[in-house]
Amino acid sequence: MIRSSSPGISEAGRAAVDKSRMIALMAKAVGDVAKVENRRAVWIYVGELPARQMIEFGHLLPEAGDEPAWTAALPEADRAFMQSIGK
């Protein structure tokens, strides 16, 4: 039996329903990629860090709820790069 364990780190402050959805989506994606025979073979662990202990795009992350102001305050090049991801 193939087993897959995927640790992850999440920004603290997310709603429980959002974390549950994120974990379920991660488990499905890992299971699909690993081609596991049974969902029992996929284990997901998520630890939380305060936003101020994380840097993305070269900038400390904002507290939960402050994302719009944080995004608006980014230098234009960093904001454009961030917003281009996934397009």
pLDDT at 50: 85
pLDDT at 52: 85
pLDDT at 3: 46
Would you say residue 14 has pLDDT above 80?
no
Residue 9, C-beta contacts closer than 8 angstroms, at least 6 positions apart: 46, 47, 48, 49, 54
pLDDT at 11: 66
Closest CA to 49 of 7, 13, 5: 13
Q: What is the pLDDT of residues 22-72, one digit of tens each?
A: 889 999 999 999 998 888 889 888 888 888 888 888 999 998 889 999 999
For the segment 6-15, the average pLDDT, to the nearest whole number, is 65
